[in-house]
Amino acid sequence: MTARTDWQAWHEPYADEGSPLSRRLRLVRREIAAWLDERPDERLTVVSACAGQGHDLVGVLAGRADAHRVRATLLEYDPGNVAAARDAAGRAGLANVAVERADAGRLSSYAGAVPADLVLLAGVFGNVTDHDVRRTVAALPQLCAAGATVIWTRTRRAPDRTPALRGWLRDAGFAERAFHAPEGMLFSVGAHRFTGPPRPLNASGELFTFITAGTQWRC
């Protein structure tokens, strides 16, 4: 028997506005809204890796009169979460938000969705090895358009790897715009601006494999 994470149940704390997950969500949404406010572009592209039920991006766009500026691709593997995200986008009237059932750990899944002006990596870095975090960060120039923003989250549970992660982002050509690590909370939320040259997508490349409760969950 292998233990598996129930990725639909994982979203349940979002129903409690006081939960740490909801607090984290508010910060991610704040960074998404700040990015939208900063960008005057008529067309903006977003890709969200391991998007879950889309609470962050869909939640922001649902309340924006300028949501039509955004064309987004949400990559998610769990079929129930894919359905929930599609449902949420549909209810919000977001015709330009596509939810694809795909393995976000493979670069081939991003073909057609990138280069993106905003890359969301919420709930990814805490579920993969350090090696895969480094590999993903090093590959971000393949996902980013010039001047793109990356919004990410990472637990600070010991050993806190966020100092290393922020260094890897710097080395990969990203300038830190925000780093939220609220006192008494284990989560953190970062926003980084890409200052380097975009690179072409190497569709045969790999980014990460989720590790869950000591069990490899390849999808």
Ligand X SMILES: C[S@@+](CC[C@H](N)C(=O)[O-])C[C@H]1O[C@@H](n2cnc3c(N)ncnc32)[C@H](O)[C@@H]1O
Interacting residue ranges for ligand X, rule: CB under 6 A:
7, 10, 50-52, 55, 75-78, 81, 103-105, 122-123, 127, 210, 219
Helix (H, G, I), strand (E, B) or coil at 182: coil
**Cβ contact 98:22 at 8 Å:** no
Report the nearest approach of ligand X to the CB of residue 52 (Å): 3
User: Which lies closer to ligand X via its Cβ, residue 22 or residue 96?
Assistant: 22
Q: Find, among 160, 198, 197, the residue nearest to 179 by Cα.
A: 160
- CA 104 from chain center: how many Å? 10
Instruction: Say how many residues make up the chain.
Output: 219
Q: Which is nearer to ligand X, 167 or 179 (CB)?
A: 179
> 14 or 170, CB closer to ligand X?
14
Residue 206 Cβ vs ligand X, minimum distance, rounded to whole Å: 10
What is the nearest approach in angstroms of ligand X to the Cβ of residue 138?
A: 18
Select 36 or 57, whichever has its Cβ closest to ligand X. 57
Q: Which is nearer to ligand X, 68 or 83 (CB)?
A: 83
Pairing of strands 116-121, 144-155: parallel
Whether 49 contacts 124, CB under 8 Å: yes
Shortest spacing between CB 26 and ligand X, in angstroms: 12
Cβ contacts of 170 within 8 Å, gap of 6 or more: 176
Rounded least distance, CB 171 to ligand X, Å: 24
- 183 phi and psi angles, rounded to 5 deg: -60, 140
